[in-house]
Structures are given as structure tokens and as C-alpha cells.
Amino acid sequence: MRKVFQEELARVGDELIEISKLVTEAIEKATTAFEGADIDLAEEVIAADAKIDFLQNSLDENAIDILALQGPVASDLRMVVGSLRMSASLERMGDLARHIAQLTRLRYPATVIPAPLRETFKSFAEHDLLIAQKLTVLLETRDLEVAREIMKANSAVNDLHLSVFKAIAHSDWQESAASTVDVALASRYFERFSDHGVSVAQKVTYLVTGAWQPSIIEHG
């Protein structure tokens, strides 16, 4: 019975890794589409989000079955409950990649971001992709140095997010109202993607150390 239980726990861990890999693929394709106004790639990201949702539901059902039938305690219980919460954050990251792709589709054939901020959003994309890639490594290895790298990248994303709002509030901002809304939304999507990545990293840290750090994720 114990062997079956451990196999079920391992399957939940494998499912988290699979979802994380799909999220990485989603944000990579979404940001490429976003920067190049690639409508076909954007549509691919939008359609693929259903698979992330399906896998999250499957993971959650497996985790709930473990709770109901196996009655895990101590570190095993933390693993199951943590997996439920991590899957929710990963699913939300997939949604945010989809939102970026949807902005691309909305403004096609134009690009979403005006010229003065394109380098800023290129940096956003690089940091978000790095966070997604590091999350997969973290889930595979539970190496807390990787968690710290995620936190560092998130700090850079927060600085970029702040710089965007300073730019659109500045007196020399000349873009249209629609473009201003697009920029603000896009910045928010990139920033929340990063925050949810931190949420997953915090939960892995908790699983490894048993010490809880309150998540910065409360909404969105």
C-alpha cells in the first residue's frame, strides 16, 4: 500500500512538471507573437491553453483522491496540499500567457507596444521566460538556489512594471488612450505572470524547509 501511495505522490509531482513545461512553451510563444505581431502563433497559444486547464484539473482530482483515500500526514500532506496550490498558480500563468496572445490578436496587424517601450517589454519577456524555465528546474530538483534566482528575476520584473507606469504617467507621453490601456494591461500581465512564478517557488521552498513565507499572491 505504501508503494502505491508513493507512486501516486510521484505522479502528482510529474504532472506539476508537465504543466510547468507547457507554461514555459506558452509564454515563449506568446511573447514571440507579441513582439512580432504573429497572429498564427498567438492563436496557437490561445488554443493550447485548454490543455493546461485540463492537466490542472486532472492533477487536482488526483491530489484530492490521495487526500480522501490515503490520509497523508506531515511532509506527504504538505506535498499534496502544496501541489494543489501550485497547480492553480501554474494554470494562472498559462492564462496570463493567453492574455498576452489575445492582446496580439486584438491589435493585429499592428504591434501592441509603441516604439518607446519596446525594449522594456522585450526585457519583460526575457525575465518571464527565465522564471518559467527556472520553475521547471525547481520542480524537478528542489534546488533552493534556483528559487532564489526566480526571486531575483521577479524583482527585475517589478522594476520594469513600475517604469512602465511612470512612462505612461509622464507629461511627454503622446500615445492614444487605446495604446495606453494596452500598455498598462500588458505590463500587468507580465508582472502577474512573474508573481505567480514566485508563488510556486515559495511553496517549493516550504516543501523543502518546512518554513512558510507568506505568498505575495492574493488576487489575479
What is the arithmetic mean of pLDDT over 125-138? Answer: 98
Q: 116 preceded by cis ω (within 30°)?
A: no
56, 59, 94, 86: which is closest to 192 by C-alpha? 94
State mean pLDDT over 3-17.
88
> pLDDT tens digits, residue range 155-169?
999 999 999 999 999
Whether the predicted model's global pTM rises above the 0.85 cut:
yes
Q: In the chain, where are the structural domains located?
A: 2-209
Per the model's pLDDT, the better-predicted residue between 15 and 69 turns out to be 15
Q: Where does residue 99 rank: exposed (0-12), middle (13-18), buried (19+ CB within 10 A)? A: buried
- CATH number of the structural domain 2-209: 1.20.58.220
Hunting for cell 500587468 — which residue is that?
Answer: 188
